[in-house]
């Protein structure tokens, strides 16, 4: 069977029309788990749930124990459901996998067997074990991959979720939430719950989002980079103070700050070569993050390659200092910000 889309899986669940075998995988863990719960609930029916719904731990379950559960008959029902969470093909022996493939080819019609991965991530490019398992499941059942949602899809989901809670959220403000929190749906919905509780049954305003939504490390450091390239000294050091107050690791802060400058450099190189600002996405991993390239085009279009090279040199110097434990870590970061501000200021004066 071909791989199902999320919409096709939803239709099967609504119509109680199930395959005998499913594997739910992918990066978007919130939607994966939500759909797995729905599938398990509907596939096991209403009668004798204690007998007709079996959940097994994929880390510890033996293939023999799994086979016993799959082959057991349902109790006073047409079908039963066996769900295996976080089965990791990479950690299994060739003998285990051979026994599993035999089982998958012989799942009885009275059983719906579901593998779902709320924690395990698959290396789709390198893992031959997973490639083989996915192909084996698709041969006799269905796989569903839950990929990270894009900006517009995330905005739509947030607006719909706010409406269900009798609140109103504009697409523009939903986009602001995504820019602050990132693309992880669990994090976004947690922040939305907080906003809806505060707003009651009314409008979620930009002010509420600004004051209540927790900005992730990447967003905060991005604001730091914008303050630096804009020459906003007080704001830059204020954000650095905030990062230290939140006990963020300087090495992590530096890594994100370096990524922001790399975005500026790559976009500038692409534009200078006569290509679009999105051209670096062809060569580097910007899947679901192409907004970073658009932001870099907006914020760094006036900067020269020489200025960006000097900035990257300063970032490298700070990275070596932090990782070799030379000097106070806060002092290293403060000196770095001073150097980057000075480089930006010299560039401004040269224009």
- pLDDT for res 97: 94
What average pLDDT does the segment 89-101 reach? 94
Helices and strands in the chain, H and E counts: 16, 5
Convert 108-150 into a string of H (helix), E (strand) and C (coil).
Answer: CCCEEEEEECCCCCCCCCCCHHHHHHHHHHHHHCEEEECCCCC
Find, among 203, 206, 220, 202, the residue nearest to 256 by Cα: 220
Complete edge-to-edge strand list for the sheet that includes strand 142-145: 53-57, 80-85, 111-116, 21-25, 142-145
Query: Of 113, 128, 145, which marks where a domain is finished?
Result: 145
188-217 pLDDT, tens digit per residue, is 999 999 999 999 888 999 999 988 888 888
Residues 51 and 138 in one domain: yes
Question: What would the two tokens of residue 183 be?
Answer: 């693309």
As for how many domains the chain has, the answer is 3
Q: How many other β-carbons are positioned within 10 Å of the β-carbon of residue 78?
A: 10
Residue 297 confidence class, pLDDT cut points 50, 70, 90: confident
299-309 pLDDT, tens digit per residue, is 777 788 999 99
Residue for token digits 């192409």?
Answer: 290
Residue 1 confidence class, pLDDT cut points 50, 70, 90: low
Residue 126 sits in a domain of what CATH number?
Answer: 3.40.50.300
- 1 occurs within a structural domain: no
Top-confidence residue, 38 or 299: 38
Residues 137 and 10 in one domain: yes
Residues 307 and 208 in one domain: no
The boundaries of the domain holding residue 172 are 151-212
- What's phi and psi for 57, nearest 5 deg? -80, 115
Contact by Cβ (8 Å): 82, 112:
yes
Q: Across all residues in the chain, what is the average pLDDT?
A: 89
d(Cα 113, Cα 70) in Å, to the nearest integer? 7
What average pLDDT does the segment 299-322 reach? 89
- 25 occurs within a structural domain: yes
- Quote the DSSP letter at residue 273: T
139-187 pLDDT, tens digit per residue, is 999 999 998 888 888 999 999 999 999 999 999 999 989 888 888 888 8
Residues 263 and 314 in one domain: yes
Residues 121 and 185 in one domain: no
Residues 120 and 206 in one domain: no
Alpha helices in 26-108 (DSSP H): 29-43, 49-52, 63-71, 94-104
Handedness of CA 102, 104, 106, 107 (dihedral sign): positive
Q: Tell me: pLDDT of 116 over 90.
A: yes
Q: Could you give the count of Cα atoms lying within 13 Å of 265 in the half-sphere of its Cβ?
A: 15
């Amino acid at each position: 069977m071909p791989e199902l889309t999320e919409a096709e899986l939803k239709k099967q669940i609504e119509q109680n029309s199930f395959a005998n075998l499913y594997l739910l995988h992918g990066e978007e863990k919130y939607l994966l788990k939500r759909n797995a719960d729905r599938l398990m609930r509907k596939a096991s029916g209403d009668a004798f749930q204690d007998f007709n719904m079996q959940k097994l731990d994929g880390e510890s379950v033996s293939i023999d124990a799994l086979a016993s559960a799959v082959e057991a008959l349902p109790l006073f029902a047409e079908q039963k459901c066996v769900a295996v969470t976080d089965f990791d093909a990479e950690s299994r022996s060739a003998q285990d996998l051979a026994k599993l493939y035999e089982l998958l080819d012989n799942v009885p019609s009275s059983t719906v067997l579901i593998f779902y991965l709320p924690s395990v991530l698959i290396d789709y490019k390198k893992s031959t074990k997973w490639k083989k398992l996915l192909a084996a499941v698709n041969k006799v059942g269905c796989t569903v991959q839950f990929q990270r949602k894009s900006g517009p899809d995330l905005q739509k989901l947030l607006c719909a979720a706010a409406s269900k809670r009798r609140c109103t959220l504009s697409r523009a403000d939903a986009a602001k939430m995504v820019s602050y929190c990132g693309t992880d749906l669990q994090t976004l919905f947690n922040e939305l719950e907080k906003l809806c509780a505060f707003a009651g049954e009314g409008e979620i305003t930009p002010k509420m989002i600004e004051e209540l939504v927790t900005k992730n490390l990447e967003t905060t450091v991005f604001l730091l980079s914008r303050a630096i390239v804009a020459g906003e000294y007080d704001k830059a050091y204020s954000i650095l103070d905030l990062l230290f107050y939140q006990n963020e690791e300087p090495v992590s802060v530096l890594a994100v700050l370096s990524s922001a400058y790399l975005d500026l450099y790559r976009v500038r190189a692409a534009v200078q070569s006569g290509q679009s600002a999105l051209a670096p996405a062809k060569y580097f991993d910007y899947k679901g993050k192409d907004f970073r390239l658009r932001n870099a085009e907006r914020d760094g279009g006036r900067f020269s390659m020489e200025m960006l090279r000097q900035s990257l040199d300063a970032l490298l110097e700070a990275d070596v200092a932090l990782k070799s434990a030379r000097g106070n870590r806060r002092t290293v970061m403060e000196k770095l910000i001073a150097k980057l501000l000075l480089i930006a200021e010299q560039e401004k004066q040269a224009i």
